[in-house]
Amino acid sequence: MTRARIAQILKSGEPGTTVDVRGWVRTKRESKQDFAFLEVNDGSCMANVQIVVDANLPDYASLIKQIHTGASVAVVGEIKASLGKGQRIEVHAHSLKVLGTADPATYPLQKKGHSFEFLREKAHLRPRTNTFGAIARVRNALCAAIHAFFQARDFLYVQTPIITTSDCEGAGQVFQVTTLDLARLQQSKSPLDYSHDFFGKKAGLTVSGQLEGEIFATAVGDVYTFGPTFRAENSNTTRHLAEFWMVEPEMAFYELEDNMDLAESFVRTIVKDVLERCPEDLAFFNERIEPNLIASLENIVNHDFIRLTYTEAVEILLKSGHTFEFPIEWGKDMQSEHERFLTEQHFKQPVILTDYPREIKSFYMRCNEDGKTVRAMDVLVPRIGEIIGGSQREERHSVLIDRMKECGLVPEDYWWYLELRQYGTVPHSGFGLGLERTVQLVTGMTNIRDCIPFPRTPKSADF
Ligand code: 4AD
Ligand code: MG
């Protein structure tokens, strides 16, 4: 007999059928009338299945004694209509096997709720809780929706390298990858020579797949990458990880307006997909985590995003009379408090800001004629702030060289990127969506460390 998933049993299991259920015990209740109830969960859905174990079962007393919260069990039994309230059906055990016990004196997940801080230290067990099971399912649904969105539009999924020798964002936040013997280097007086390193030059973990994405976009048109990204930025915030996943579409012949249209339709579509696919999990988050969650997601799905320039946004912030921790002025980067003011208080909608000052944006963004701004676009959403960063790319060879120098980069290091502009250059655009910030948006979880299975942050890389 093959194992049945609990989600399937609860949804469509018919009384009278025999099923094989396996999972982990959430609670055990022993009744005086000589039977026991086990609430068993296998992670396929939020709800548990109720197992009724009759005292007539061989070895009943010794089996029940072994079972506590956290134990794993295998049950073969018959589905019956449930007389108790709260569930349509239950499973009456014909056989019950304890696969693994869990000592109640030491098992960390007890019935009472635990703080998310505590659970971060138990990342090996937290997926067994309601909240983290739901986050895992929502994250999975988001990933499926992301691929479905691009595949439906004939974008090619391109794998860009994790180890690279270029710093896409030019922000010096690259984790170095080396096989040099650091201990020996420390002792020797000779200068660092990367020609002896594994790749023959300084290499690191990618901060973005964009530059390589552009190679494929300028050959096959519409592509996207979707993979892990690494940034050694020492910011201990609720929105930053040192390792996060990014989706980066890149499109030839797209100008900034096309890029904004795609980004908006992308965000609205994947949020809609998750609302449809995970109603039970979202209802849980709405009840337990963020009371306004579902309404705010429906608002995103059903309304056009607001579009305005950075300059216009700064004016709104200055005129707002609101006191910010970091005062804003033209030329300064937006902080999340500014982004959240715009989306939560001023517009009450997601917002796309464009045409940021060139001083605060990366070298690859297309320069505007005003000499002060670039064709950047950030998508901002309530509760998070920036969820997407993107731009039209600088496709003019000589302008790009000047801009690289302005940003302190050595054009020769980017010779292949420049050749894309030398041979058959075209207008093109793209953006990057942070997966974990999207999980935050869709679940209402306030800390990004709870939106990836194994968070990596300064001083923390356990599990
Ligand atoms: O704005 P960013 O830095 O843009 C890029 O990397 C471009 N190369 C993307 C492109 O045009 N192809 O990052 C894009 C998004 C952010 O909006 C944010 O959602 C997420 O990636 N992100 C992070 N998420 C978690 N932790 C961090 N440290 C993040 N840094 C960026
Ligand atoms: Mg950004």
- Asked if 190 and 124 count as a contact pair (C-beta separation under 8 A), the reply is no
Could you tell me the pLDDT band of residue 144, with boundaries at 50, 70 and 90?
very high
Query: What would the mean pLDDT of 11-18 be, rounded to a whole number?
Result: 96
Over residues 249-261, the pLDDT tens digits come to 999 999 999 999 9
* Residue 128: predicted pLDDT: 96
Ligand 1 pocket member 231 (CB < 6 A): yes
**Long-range pairs for 12-15: beta carbons < 8 A, 24 or more residues apart:** 13/79, 13/89, 14/79, 15/79, 15/80, 15/81, 15/89
* Residue 170: predicted pLDDT: 75
What length does the chain have?
Answer: 463
Question: Quick check: 401 pLDDT over 90?
Answer: yes
Assign domain 6-110 to its CATH superfamily: Nucleic acid-binding proteins (2.40.50.140)
Please report which helix (H) or strand (E) contains residue 49, including its range: strand 49-54
Which is the closest atom of ligand 1 to the Cα of 391? 11
Ligand 1 pocket member 223 (CB < 6 A): no
Ligand closest to the CA atom of residue 365: 1
Residue nearest (by alpha carbon) to ligand 1 atom 17? 388
52 CB-near residues (< 8 Å, 6+ apart): 35, 36, 37, 77, 80, 90, 91, 92, 93
CATH code at 126-450 = 3.30.930.10
Ligand 1 pocket member 273 (CB < 6 A): no
Question: Quick check: 319 pLDDT over 90?
Answer: yes
Where is pLDDT greater, at 435 or 34?
Answer: 435
Displacement of CA 309 from its chain's centroid (Å): 27
- With tokens 């009744």, the residue in question is 31
Helix (H, G, I), strand (E, B) or coil at 307: strand
Cα 244 to averaged position of ligand 2 atoms, centre (Å): 14
Ligand 1 pocket member 128 (CB < 6 A): no
Query: What would the mean pLDDT of 319-332 be, rounded to a whole number?
Result: 96
Cα 378 to averaged position of ligand 2 atoms, centre (Å): 7
- Each domain of the chain, given as residue ranges in start order, spans 6-110, 126-450
Query: What would the mean pLDDT of 203-227 be, rounded to a whole number?
Result: 97
Q: Do domains 6-110 and 126-450 have the same CATH topology?
A: no
Burial of 127 (0-12, 13-18, 19+ CB in 10 A): middle
At 285, list the tokens: 């988050």
* Residue 444: predicted pLDDT: 98
For residues 294 and 280, what is the distance between their CA atoms, to the nearest angstrom? Answer: 11
Supply the mean pLDDT for the chain. 96
Over residues 287-299, the pLDDT tens digits come to 999 999 999 999 9
Over residues 347-399, the pLDDT tens digits come to 999 999 999 999 999 999 999 999 999 999 999 999 999 999 999 999 999 99
- Asked if 431 and 259 count as a contact pair (C-beta separation under 8 A), the reply is yes
Residue nearest (by alpha carbon) to ligand 1 atom 24? 434
